[in-house]
Amino acid sequence: MREINDILKSCGFQFKKQFGQNFLTDKNLLSAIAADAGITKDTTVLEIGAGAGALTRALCEKAKRVVAFEIDRSLQPVLAEALAGCDNAEIVFRDFMKCDLVALEAELKEYVVAANLPYYVTTPVVMRFIEEAKGCKSLTVMVQEEVAERFCAAAGTPEYGAVTAAIARVAECRVARRVPRAMFIPRPNVDSAVVNMSFVKDRIPVKSAKAYRETVRCAFLSRRKTLENNLLACFRLSREQAKEILSAAEIAEGVRGETLPPERLARLSDLLFEKGHIK
């Protein structure tokens, strides 16, 4: 088979910056990413952004089935050649953000996500799985290095934020490998990292996922404000009610939301939910 670079050239492919097209070609790296995703011959893989198909091919070699979304139809001839002989690959030329995830999951059943994500849409894609997915076992995704740090951050660090707390409720998150910018064509301005998020049933149990989401949003609403003041602003609590809730959650006065680990945010969200402050 010809190298990806040669296929792209002979197809006259023009990279489109607006789609976050930074492709991988290194076979060892591609195979390592497929291994990071824990793929076996029983695994169904969902890839977002097939690009020139180099990662898709590496996934196909290890998986039972690979369903790959790609927004850019002009990659069709490139993918046809790059995936020749990969009988377990299916390319869907569609914007993943517009696909019906419920219908897709009904078709895939149990699956893992493995992708070199288009960076302009990284967080919305990840949050879609974190908040809506039912059959997803894990996400193994290439993201900008600083985004990877945010996803896996510890409470109280500058990188810790609402996205970290949302992920931590449902999944174990770790940086599987760092990938220098020189590994991509064209070369982006930042380094990257592969993050593995493995879903764990009841990792941090809550009475209401919606209440947890709203509590997290509130806790990080204004980083300069105390949690108490953010609670007043978000849920129209009286000062008295806010103090009562915080005391029941064993959270000291003057604490800022960003210092609270996800487990403590979960306890707070349960109390806000039970007392009817979040419906």
Whole-angstrom distance, CA of residue 90 vs CA of residue 9: 23
Residue from 45, 67, 121, 251 that binds ligand SAM (CB under 6 A)?
A: 121
Residue 195 as a binder of ligand SAM (CB under 6 A): the answer is no
Looking at the Cβ atoms of 18 and 238, the one nearer to ligand SAM is 18
How large is the C-alpha radius of gyration of the chain? 21
* DSSP strands (E only) in 180-271: 184-185, 192-199
Shortest spacing between CB 136 and ligand SAM, in angstroms: 17
Shortest spacing between CB 211 and ligand SAM, in angstroms: 30
Are 59 and 34 in contact, with CB atoms under 8 Å apart? yes
Shortest spacing between CB 94 and ligand SAM, in angstroms: 7
Question: How would you class 82 by CB atoms within 10 Å of its CB: exposed for 0-12, middle for 13-18, buried for 19 or more?
Answer: buried
Q: What residues from 20 to 59 belong to the interface with ligand SAM (CB under 6 A)? A: 20-24, 48-52, 54-55
H or E element at residue 175: strand 171-179
Looking at the Cβ atoms of 34 and 218, the one nearer to ligand SAM is 34
Looking at the Cβ atoms of 94 and 239, the one nearer to ligand SAM is 94
For residue 113, list its beta bridge partners. 46, 139
Shortest spacing between CB 185 and ligand SAM, in angstroms: 8
Are 214 and 266 in contact, with CB atoms under 8 Å apart? no
Map residues 72-91 to x or -, x wherever contact with ligand SAM holds by CB under 6 A.
Answer: x-------------------
Residue from 116, 144, 164, 196 that binds ligand SAM (CB under 6 A)?
A: 116
Q: Which residue's entry shows tokens 């005391």?
A: 247
The size of the chain, in residues, is: 279
Shortest spacing between CB 116 and ligand SAM, in angstroms: 3
Are 20 and 48 in contact, with CB atoms under 8 Å apart? no
Shortest spacing between CB 92 and ligand SAM, in angstroms: 8
Residue 257 as a binder of ligand SAM (CB under 6 A): the answer is no
Whole-angstrom distance, CA of residue 1 vs CA of residue 149: 37
Residues that bind ligand SAM (CB under 6 A): 19-24, 48-52, 54-55, 69-72, 95-97, 116, 118, 121
